[in-house]
Amino acid sequence: MSQQTLIETQNIYKTYKLGTEIINALSGVDIKIKKGEFVSIVGKSGSGKSTLMHLIGLLDTPTSGKILLNDKDVSRLNQNELAFLRNKSIGFVFQSFNLLQRTSTIDNVILPLKYSKTPKSEWAQKALKMLELVGLSERKNNKPNELSGGQKQRIAIARALVNDPDLILADEPTGNLDSKTGAEIIELFRKLNKSGKTVVIVTHDEELANVTNRKIIIKDGKVSKSL
């Protein structure tokens, strides 16, 4: 039995107006990502890969074309509908970690639960379980300024996982880390994928892309190759 498609884009265009100039960030992009895949979206700066990430992460909507999530057309949802679906279905991991600096580790992980339907009585338990998964339960009361870069990224991954999303979407997740710590984070993504999570890494780093099972290469706003 073939894997079910999780995310699909159908002939999507994203156009921006800059003064009198029209910028085509994406031009007719078709991609499919199946449940359980470990995929990288690769491209140089200005290729359109970040625009594509924002679209499949439901942070933006296309100018034309369709985006399907679990076979449902999500391209024309309003901002509130997108926010709800994003929080429920997608876990984000960013290069800059995006942690709340004055907030404890466990409260950073709890944050997405505050916008979910999970009862408040379950928040701490769920967050602690995710911290255990990334090997940082003993740091639950520390603040981000007391943690290393690798630990901060593990916290960000725990936060991305806490709502049990369909998709983990990582944007240059090793960009602010040394090579040894970066390798540890990639190994963690690999383990998450082996446990059944769909993981998509957006990067310009070919070495990082090579650890994924499939590469989607974006050039000049179009898919140039899918390997």
Looking up residue 87, the CATH number of its domain turns out to be 3.40.50.300
CA dihedral 45, 101, 99, 138 (to 10 degrees): 130
Distance CA 91, CA 198 (A): 10
At 96, the amino acid letter reads S
pLDDT tens per residue across all 227 residues of the chain: 457 999 999 999 999 988 899 889 999 999 999 999 999 999 998 899 999 999 999 999 999 999 999 999 999 899 999 999 999 999 999 988 889 999 999 999 999 999 898 999 999 999 999 999 999 999 999 999 999 999 999 999 999 999 999 999 999 999 889 999 999 999 999 999 999 999 999 999 888 899 999 999 999 999 988 76
Number of domains observed in the structure of the chain: 1
Closest alpha carbon to 48 in 78, 12, 82: 12
197 Cβ contact partners less than 8 Å away, ≥ 6 residues apart? 36, 161, 168
**Residue 148 included in any domain:** yes
What pTM value is reported for the model?
A: 0.92
**Residue 26 included in any domain:** no
**Which H or E run contains 149?**
helix 149-161
Per-residue tokens: 72: 């449902």
Residue pair 147/175 in contact by the 8 Å Cβ criterion: no
Task: Identify the domain containing residue 95 by its residue range.
Answer: 36-60+77-226
Per-residue tokens: 196: 């059944």
Distance CA 141, CA 156 (A): 15
Closest alpha carbon to 190 in 5, 39, 33: 39
**Residue 28 included in any domain:** no
**Residue 149 included in any domain:** yes
Query: How many CA atoms, within 13 angstroms, populate the side-chain half-sphere of residue 80?
Result: 0
**Residue 182 included in any domain:** yes
Q: pLDDT per residue over 113-146, tens digit each?
A: 998 989 999 999 999 999 999 999 999 999 999 9
**Residue 17 included in any domain:** no
**Residue 12 included in any domain:** no
Closest alpha carbon to 166 in 12, 1, 37: 37
Closest alpha carbon to 24 in 7, 40, 12: 12
Per-residue tokens: 152: 């901060």
**Residue 27 included in any domain:** no
Distance CA 165, CA 39 (A): 16
Q: pLDDT per residue over 140-177, tens digit each?
A: 999 999 999 999 999 999 999 999 999 999 999 998 89
